[in-house]
Amino acid sequence: MANVPLAHYLALAAAMFSVGLAAVLVRRNALVVFMGVELMLNAANLTILAFSRTLGVQEGHVIAFFVIAVAAAEAAIGLAVMIAVFRSRKTINVDEVDALKY
Amino acid sequence: MGWLNAMDPSTGLPQALHWIILMPLIGAVINGLLGKRLGRANVHLIACGAVFASFAISAIALWEVSYGGSTRITELWWHWFTIGNIPVELAFSVDRLTAIMLCVITGVGFLIHLFSTEYMSHDEGYWRYFSYLNFFIAMMATLVLGSNLLVMFVGWEGVGLASYLLIGFWYTDDEKAYAGRKAFIVNRIGDFGFLLGIFAAVGLFGTIDFAELQVAASGLVGSTVLEGGIFNGWTMTAAITLVCLLLFIGATGKSAQIPLYVWLPDAMAGPTPVSALIHAATMVTAGVYMIARLSFLYAYAPGAMAVVALIGAATAVFAALIAYTQNDIKKVLAYSTVSQLGFMFIGVGVGAWWAAIFHLVTHAFFKACLFLGAGSVMHGMNDETDIRKFGGLRKEMWHTWATFLIATIAITGVLPLSGFFSKDAILHAAHVNPNVWYSWVPNTVYFLGLFAALSTSFYMWRMFNLTFNGERRGMKEHKAHESGPAMTGPLWVLSGLTVGAAAWGFPFASGARFERFLSGIFEPANANLQRVLQAGATELGTSLPPAPGHDLAAMLPGYIIALVVALIGFGIAWYLYLGPGKEIPAALVARMPKVYAAFNNKFYVDELYDAVIVRPLKVSARVLWQVVDSFAIDKLVVNGTAVLTGWIAQLFRYFQDGNAQRYAMVMAVSAVAILWVFLF
């Protein structure tokens, strides 16, 4: 297997992260915002694993597994919250869910 | 056979001294905690029994130091604490001076307990009263038993507390509660001086133990310049003078001398037996005892002794003048006490230590008798204290009249009762004892003392005549009843002691019995004094007068003068209040209303203190309270912090607008900004 240089991984991860951040910041649909978050998490995962592999250490893998587990838990809870919000508000547009303010 | 050893005073006493304090203290605790449930009979049984037990131990101690061979019994109860390398022991010691004080305190104290069982029998706070009284005895015993300055200070503060509690005993009366507070605060001012005196003594000698102080203070040379320590660069005389004057401030508070005497007349708000015990016989003499105890130190400070003697003389005269016009039987006695305490300070101030202590003892007897007699009169007259309403009580209260007469003869200094010998021993000493640096002091003091003696005779006979002789002027329908045996008994015992104590004061060729009895105690002081006087005479180029004689021949001129003075006072009082001059006092008052008002209002000293000290203090306290505390601290600092935080929070909460994506944007931008700062 050809050795992919570290820079490539990092570039890809940066691109994924930026896309995810953009989604979180600009999209109004909570589901899409959520997908953005997932993208950012996986971009971080990719970075960690790339470094881990390059440096030949195992800790990165462990962290990646944790991140995956956390992401799964987050997805479960986040979706549940969204369903609950939709039930009460009939919308999941994040602009309209702004009752928690001064 | 340990208990047999304990029965032998020479081996048992060193372990038993603390029981003199503990007995009444336990009595005070039991009566204080359980007294309400114990019933009156048990309360006074415990209280009187505890004091009598103390008296018994004190009497054994007195016997032991008088005849038993030991001159000083000490007990180290426990080691209290150590500061630096100065150990502070809870230690007690008894020598002849302490023993005589202890016997007066517990003996007179016991009689007054006995008297109180009847006098206070209708009072609701019976148990509380006896608890306080026992507490006082315990603290007063601590004061005289303490073998170092700090234990003495514990007692010194303790008797102040007991005095406060008993003056304000009827605390529901605002005026009485106020009198208690006044006594406490004025005493605290003196106590502060006393405390500073202890510190100065530690700084100078590095010890607070009386015996060690006495050793440290032997053979000093007054002109030595000290090096190091807090008195660096001072002469020995100056340093000791400072110590003595600071301690004397404490004495002026506790023993009611100018300028701190103002609390004592107000202290008459307490029950009369309390006035007899605390504010006449025992507590107020603490200052005299303290100076006698430290006489070896005062001997080095002629300046301090001159101050003590002058203050004493001034107080004796001033208080006697106020007593002229007082109409409250207890107030007359209170000012008389202040005046007599002045005599005692004259005694210690001119180096007649034994005479001062002798006057202390005889005064304890006759003044306690007078106060208890006044209590008996009040008891028979519905608690009335105005002597203008009395008169002719001799017929109704024979026992009170007779004992009061004996005590009055004693206090006015008429032969052959004890007051004559003790007062004239002081006056004689003031007349003949030299003070080389302040040679004008002894004679000044002597003439002031004579005038005070004349005044004493006048106001005491005035009071006596108004109360017991003539016809009843007020409360004519009231039939006075003589008090019961629990009250007249102590009166007779005290008047007996007043008569008997004269035997100690008769001037034999080798000195009065009392003088010889205490000669061992004051030997170091007299030796120091002689050396100081000798050094002063050499320095000033004068010669010391020959040592004054103290046999009858030497005393006779003074005795005759004093007797004449006392009789003149008696004559004036008789002429003005019983004889043909009855109209004169009223005429004098009408002629000079301003002068009378000044006398009657105690020369406006209370008003002066009020204007100079109390009011400015109150105003500054008000400023501190209203401006500094309420405004600056409470409003500006404390509430200000909260208000400011509130305002800022009010501003910042508008950032919380509920839009999650805006939060995310802020986070992202901030993260970028932070990265930017860290990376580039």
Q: If you average pLDDT over residues A55-84, what whole number do you get?
A: 92
What pLDDT is stored for residue B549 in this prediction?
Answer: 67
Please state, in angstroms and rounded to a whole number, the distance separating the CA atoms of residues B53 and B135: 14
Q: Does B675 touch chain A (CB under 8 A)?
A: no
Q: Could you say which residues from 3 to 22 on chain A have a Cβ atom under 8 Å away from some Cβ of chain B? A: 21
- Inter-chain touch A95–B661, beta carbons under 8 Å: yes
Query: Whose CA is closest to B490, among B117, B138, B137, B20?
Result: B117
* H-state helical runs in B78-173: 96-119, 126-145, 149-167
| A7 burial type by CB count under 10 A (0-12 exposed, 13-18 middle, 19+ buried) | exposed
- Residue whose pair of structure tokens reads 């050396």 in the numeric block: B531
Q: Does A82 touch chain B (CB under 8 A)?
A: no
Identify which of A24, A26, A98 has the shortest CB distance to residue B659.
A98
- Inter-chain touch A101–B660, beta carbons under 8 Å: no
Identify which of B654, B658, B668 has the shortest CB distance to residue A98.
B658
Chain B residue with the nearest C-alpha to that of A27: B661
With a threshold of 0.90, does the pTM exceed it?
Answer: no
Are B262 and B609 in contact by the 8 Å Cβ rule? The answer is yes
DSSP notation for B159-217? HHHHHHHHHTSSTTSHHHHHHHHHHHHHHHHHHHHHHHHHHHHHHHHS--BHHHHHHHT
Enumerate residues 6+ apart whose C-beta is below 8 A from B132: B28, B162, B165, B166, B169
A14 to chain B, closest Cα gap in Å:
13
What pLDDT is stored for residue B284 in this prediction?
Answer: 92
Q: Rounded to the nearest 5 degrees, what angle is found at the Cα of A78, between the Cα atoms of A72 and A80?
A: 105
Please state, in angstroms and rounded to a whole number, the distance separating the CA atoms of residues B27 and B130: 9
DSSP A97: -
Query: Helices B126-145 and B9-38, interaxial angle, to 10°?
Result: 160
Please state, in angstroms and rounded to a whole number, the distance separating the CA atoms of residues B368 and B371: 5
Amino acid letter, residue A40: M
Main-chain phi, psi angles of B21, to 5 degrees = -85, -40
Chain B residue with the nearest C-alpha to that of A17: B668
Identify which of A25, A99, A102 has the shortest CB distance to residue B668.
A25
Are B468 and B399 in contact by the 8 Å Cβ rule? The answer is no
Identify which of B654, B660, B665 has the shortest CB distance to residue A102.
B654
> What is the tens place of the pLDDT at every residue in B446-481?
999 999 999 999 999 999 999 888 888 877 777 778
Please state, in angstroms and rounded to a whole number, the distance separating the CA atoms of residues B259 and B381: 35
Q: Is A56 helix (H, G, I), strand (E, B) or coil?
A: coil
Residue B214, Cβ neighbours under 10 Å: how many? 17
Please state, in angstroms and rounded to a whole number, the distance separating the CA atoms of residues B54 and B25: 10
Residues of A in contact with B668 (CB under 8 A): 21, 25
Radius of gyration of chain A (CA): 17
Please state, in angstroms and rounded to a whole number, the distance separating the CA atoms of residues B291 and B449: 19
Q: B19: which 2 tokens?
A: 């029981």
> What is the tens place of the pLDDT at every residue in B510-531?
778 888 899 889 999 988 888 8
- Count Cβ–Cβ pairs < 8 Å, chain A vs chain B: 30
Please state, in angstroms and rounded to a whole number, the distance separating the CA atoms of residues B106 and A37: 92
Identify which of B653, B654, B658 has the shortest CB distance to residue A99.
B658
Residues of B in contact with A98 (CB under 8 A): 657-660
Residues of A in contact with B658 (CB under 8 A): 97-101
Q: Is B70 helix (H, G, I), strand (E, B) or coil?
A: coil
Q: B299: which 2 tokens?
A: 């001997």
Chain A residue with the nearest C-alpha to that of B664: A25
Are B429 and B512 in contact by the 8 Å Cβ rule? The answer is no
Interface test mutation site (partner A, options B655, B659, B669, B670, max chain A beta carbons within 10 A): B659
Q: Does B665 touch chain A (CB under 8 A)?
A: yes
Chain B residue with the nearest C-alpha to that of A33: B661
> What is the tens place of the pLDDT at every residue in B528-544?
888 888 888 888 877 77
What pLDDT is stored for residue B131 in this prediction?
Answer: 94
DSSP B121: T
What pLDDT is stored for residue B531 in this prediction?
Answer: 87
Query: Whose CA is closest to B32, among B151, B127, B118?
Result: B127
Which range (A13-17, B165-169, B229-233, B405-409) has the least confidence? B229-233
Q: Does A99 touch chain B (CB under 8 A)?
A: yes
Residues of B in contact with A24 (CB under 8 A): 661, 664
Which range (B108-122, B413-427, B626-640) has the least confidence? B413-427
Q: Is A77 helix (H, G, I), strand (E, B) or coil?
A: helix
- Residue whose pair of structure tokens reads 């602009």 in the numeric block: A95
What pLDDT is stored for residue B1 in this prediction?
Answer: 46
Q: If you average pLDDT over residues B555-576, what whole number do you get?
A: 88
Q: B245: which 2 tokens?
A: 């004057």
Please state, in angstroms and rounded to a whole number, the distance separating the CA atoms of residues B9 and B324: 49
What pLDDT is stored for residue B249 in this prediction?
Answer: 94
Q: If you average pLDDT over residues B179-200, what whole number do you get?
A: 93
Q: B509: which 2 tokens?
A: 């060729």
B641 to chain A, closest Cα gap in Å:
22
Query: Whose CA is closest to B144, among B216, B93, B186?
Result: B93
Residue B283: pLDDT over 60? yes
- Inter-chain touch A25–B664, beta carbons under 8 Å: yes
DSSP B388: G
CA atoms lying within 13 Å on the CB side of residue B19: 16
Q: Which residues on adjacent β-strands are paired with residue B90?
A: B78
Residue B68: pLDDT over 90? no
Are B566 and B413 in contact by the 8 Å Cβ rule? The answer is yes
Chain B residue with the nearest C-alpha to that of A34: B661
Please state, in angstroms and rounded to a whole number, the distance separating the CA atoms of residues B459 and B393: 18
Please state, in angstroms and rounded to a whole number, the distance separating the CA atoms of residues B253 and B78: 30
Amino acid letter, residue B110: F
Identify which of B653, B660, B661 has the shortest CB distance to residue A102.
B653
Q: Is A29 helix (H, G, I), strand (E, B) or coil?
A: strand
Q: Is B77 helix (H, G, I), strand (E, B) or coil?
A: strand
Residues of B in contact with A21 (CB under 8 A): 668
- Residue whose pair of structure tokens reads 């002794």 in the numeric block: B305
Domain spans of chain A?
6-89
Q: What share of chain A is helix, strand, coil (3-state, %, to 5)?
A: 75, 0, 20
Q: If you average pLDDT over residues B29-44, what whole number do you get?
A: 90
Q: If you average pLDDT over residues B481-494, what whole number do you get?
A: 89
Q: Which residues on adjacent β-strands are paired with residue B76?
A: B91
Please state, in angstroms and rounded to a whole number, the distance separating the CA atoms of residues B260 and B276: 20
Enumerate residues 6+ apart whose C-beta is below 8 A from B373: B400, B403, B404, B407, B491
What pLDDT is stored for residue B383 in this prediction?
Answer: 83
Identify which of A21, A94, A102 has the shortest CB distance to residue B660.
A94
Q: Which residues on adjacent β-strands are paired with residue B83?
A: B86
Q: Does A97 touch chain B (CB under 8 A)?
A: yes
What pLDDT is stored for residue B199 in this prediction?
Answer: 93
Enumerate residues 6+ apart whose C-beta is below 8 A from B680: none
A53 to chain B, closest Cα gap in Å:
24
Chain B residue with the nearest C-alpha to that of A28: B661
DSSP notation for B280-331? IISGGGHHHHHHHHTHHHHTT-HHHHHHHHHHHHHHHHHHHHHHTT--BHHH
To the nearest whole percent, how much of chain B has pLDDT over 90?
55
What pLDDT is stored for residue B7 in this prediction?
Answer: 67
Q: Rounded to the nearest 5 degrees, what angle is found at the Cα of B279, between the Cα atoms of B274 and B284?
A: 140
DSSP notation for B607-620? HHHIIIIIHHHHHH
Residue B597: pLDDT over 90? no
Are B410 and B368 in contact by the 8 Å Cβ rule? The answer is no
Enumerate residues 6+ apart whose C-beta is below 8 A from B101: B144, B289
Residues of A in contact with B660 (CB under 8 A): 94, 97-98
Query: Whose CA is closest to B444, among B583, B558, B309, B592?
Result: B309
Residue B381: pLDDT over 90? no
Q: Could you say which residues from 602 to 661 on chain B have a Cβ atom under 8 Å away from some Cβ of chain A? A: 653-654, 656-661
Q: How confident is the model at residue B435 (pLDDT cuts 50, 70, 90)?
A: confident
CA B459 to chain centre: 22
Q: Rounded to the nearest 5 degrees, what angle is found at the Cα of B469, between the Cα atoms of B467 and B470?
A: 110
Q: Is A102 helix (H, G, I), strand (E, B) or coil?
A: coil
CATH number of A6-89: 1.10.287.3510
Are B576 and B582 in contact by the 8 Å Cβ rule? The answer is yes
Q: Bigger pLDDT: B589 or B7?
A: B589
Residue A2: pLDDT over 80? no
Q: Does A94 touch chain B (CB under 8 A)?
A: yes
Please state, in angstroms and rounded to a whole number, the distance separating the CA atoms of residues B337 and B357: 15
What pLDDT is stored for residue B4 in this prediction?
Answer: 59
Q: Is B258 helix (H, G, I), strand (E, B) or coil?
A: coil
